[in-house]
Amino acid sequence: MERRRGTVRDLRRDNRSVLLWSLYFNQPLSRQDLSQATGLSPASVSNVTRELISEGVVIEAGSVDSDGGRPRVLLRMNPDHGYVIGVDVGETRIRVELFDLMMTVRAKADYPLNPHEHGVEQVVDGILAGLATVLADGEVDASSVLGVGIGVPGVVEQGAEVLVHGQTYGWDAVPLERLLRAGTDLPLYIDNGAKTMGQAELWFGAGRGAQNAVIGLIGSGVGASIITNGSTHRGATSSAGEWGHTTVMVGGRTCRCGSSGCLEAYVGAEAVLDRYGLPLPGDDQETALATLIDAGTAPDASTTALQAVQVLDDTVRYLGAGIAGLINLFNPERIILGGWAGLLIGERLLPEIREAAQQHSLRQPFAETSIELCRLGPDAVALGAATLPVERLLNGTAEAPSGKSRSAS
C-alpha cells in the first residue's frame, strides 16, 4: 500500500488538492476567494498558489476592482498545462477525443466497429490508432499528455492488472491495459463506460455539486453510476452500479443475463421494442424507439397507438419502480436519467416517470430527491473518461509522465 497520510508533507498535498478542486470548478477565483472557499489562511493560499504558478498548473488572468483597494488578481487553471485523452469504446464505434485541462475538445477521431464482432485486437488497434491521430491533429506532443481515460462496456476489475469482463462483448478477463501498453507509454485509466459518463455528468452536467446521486443510463442495456460522498462508488471489485439486473418482477421476463424479471428486461431499449412486438420503421433501435415513443405520446388513438401507449405505460411503471428502489436505498439528493434511450423516454415522459417513482418510494426520501435528465447528451463517455487523469492531477497523485519503473509491495 502506498503511504498516504501521516507526514506534514501530505498535509501540503491535501491542501493543494482542495485548492485545485475549488479552482477547477469555480474559476476564475482570486486568492482571497480561495482562502474563503477552502478555509485555508491567506498566507497558505499565497504559498500554494506560488508553487502552482511556478509549475504552470495555474495562471494569473486578469484582475477585478475592489471598491477602492488593490484589485484582486484572478487565478485560472492553465488549460495548456497538459492534455488528456478520453476514449469511448461503444457498440458501434470507438471514439477518441483530445481535451485540454479545462475539457475543451482539441481533436477527435472515430473508428467504426462491427456491432456483432468486437475482437479485442480490433479495439486495441482502434484505440492506438486514435491516440496517434488525435495527437497529430491536435498538434500535441505525447509528453504533455497527462493520461488516457478509457470507458468500456462491461465490468472493469481494478486489480494489479486491469481486467475487462465485457458481457455483451464476449470479453472475459481481457487484460486491456497490458495489451495497450505494448503500443503506448501514456498513463492509462480504464473504467466502465457508465461510470465515466456518470462522472462527466457529475462534473459538468446535471450532477454538478451533488454529494449523493445516481446517474441511471438506459441504452440497449441499463446501467448506473452511483455517487456517494461526491465520488463514484466502485464497490469491492469495481463492478458496482449494475442497476439493470435488479429484479423488479420475480419470475418475469427472461433477461439476456440469464436471469428473469430484471429491470433491463423491461426498460432497456431492446426490451421495450420487443415488448411492443409490432414492426417499426428504421434500421436501428434508435429510430425505432423514437417512432414508438412518438406513436405512444401523440394525442391520437389508432390501434397501434393504443398498443404503444400500453408499452410506454408499462415502461414508465417499471422504470419508476427501479428509480424508487434507488431513492429508498441510497437517499440521493438527485437522480439523473440518461443514456440514449433514457433521454428519448425521459424527454417525453419525465413527469410520468417522476410520478411512478413517487408511487414506489417512501415519502421522506422521495421529497428530498430531484429527478432530472442528463445534460451532456449520450456522447459524454469519452469526456468522462478523460476526467480520470484530470482527477489525478487535482488530487496530486498523478503519475510521472514518462516510463518509470513500478515497485511492488
In terms of CB distance, is 122 or 260 closer to a copy of itself?
260
Binders of a copy of itself among 233-272, rule CB under 8 A? Answer: 233-243, 245-251, 257, 259, 261
5 binds a copy of itself (CB under 8 A): yes
Binders of DNA among 72-131, rule CB under 7 A? Answer: 72-73
Give the per-residue contact string, 45-64, with DNA (x = CB under 7 A; - = no).
xxxxxx------------x-
Member of 325, 342, 384, 389 binding a copy of itself (CB under 8 A) = 325
CA atoms within 13 A on the CB side of 258: 2
302 binds DNA (CB under 7 A): no
324 binds a copy of itself (CB under 8 A): yes
Closest contact distance (angstroms) between CB of 210 and a copy of itself is 9
- Residue 220 phi, psi (nearest 5): -65, -40
Q: Which stretch binds DNA (CB under 7 A): 30-38, 261-269, 273-281, 322-330?
A: 30-38
16 binds a copy of itself (CB under 8 A): no
206 binds a copy of itself (CB under 8 A): no
∠ CA 319-322-326 to the nearest 5 degrees? 135
362 binds a copy of itself (CB under 8 A): yes
Strands of the 334-338 sheet, one edge to the other: 231-232, 222-228, 213-218, 334-338, 370-373
149 neighbors 196 (Cβ within 8 angstroms)? yes
Cell numbers of 8, please?
Answer: 506534514
68 binds DNA (CB under 7 A): yes
151 neighbors 95 (Cβ within 8 angstroms)? no
∠ CA 398-402-407 to the nearest 5 degrees? 70
13 binds a copy of itself (CB under 8 A): no
Any idea of the CA torsion for 85, 89, 94, 98, to the nearest 10 degrees? -10
Cell numbers of 32, please?
Answer: 482571497
Amino acid letter, residue 26: N
What is the rounded distance in angstroms from the CA atom of residue 50 to the CA atom of residue 137? 33
Closest contact distance (angstroms) between CB of 72 and DNA is 4
In terms of CB distance, is 72 or 348 closer to DNA?
72
In terms of CB distance, is 257 or 373 closer to a copy of itself?
257
Residue whose cell numbers read 484582486: 72
Binders of a copy of itself among 38-77, rule CB under 8 A? Answer: 38-40, 44
Strands (E), 90-196: 93-100, 105-112, 145-152, 155-158, 162-165, 188-192
Q: Which stretch binds DNA (CB under 7 A): 8-16, 268-276, 317-325, 366-374?
A: 8-16
Closest contact distance (angstroms) between CB of 247 and a copy of itself is 4
Residue 83's DSSP bridge partners are 100, 145
- The conformational region for residue 268 under phi > 0 = left, psi -120 to 50 = alpha, else beta, is beta
Q: Provide the angle, in degrees to the nearest 10, between the axes of the packed helices 340-360 and 269-276.
A: 80
Question: By the criterion CB under 7 A, which residues form the site for DNA?
Answer: 6-9, 11-12, 15, 30-32, 39-50, 63, 65-73
Binding footprint of a copy of itself on the chain (CB under 8 A): 1, 3-6, 8, 10-11, 14-15, 18, 38-40, 44, 155, 157, 165, 167, 211-212, 224, 226, 228-229, 233-243, 245-251, 257, 259, 261, 317-318, 321-322, 324-326, 328-333, 359-362, 364-365, 368-369
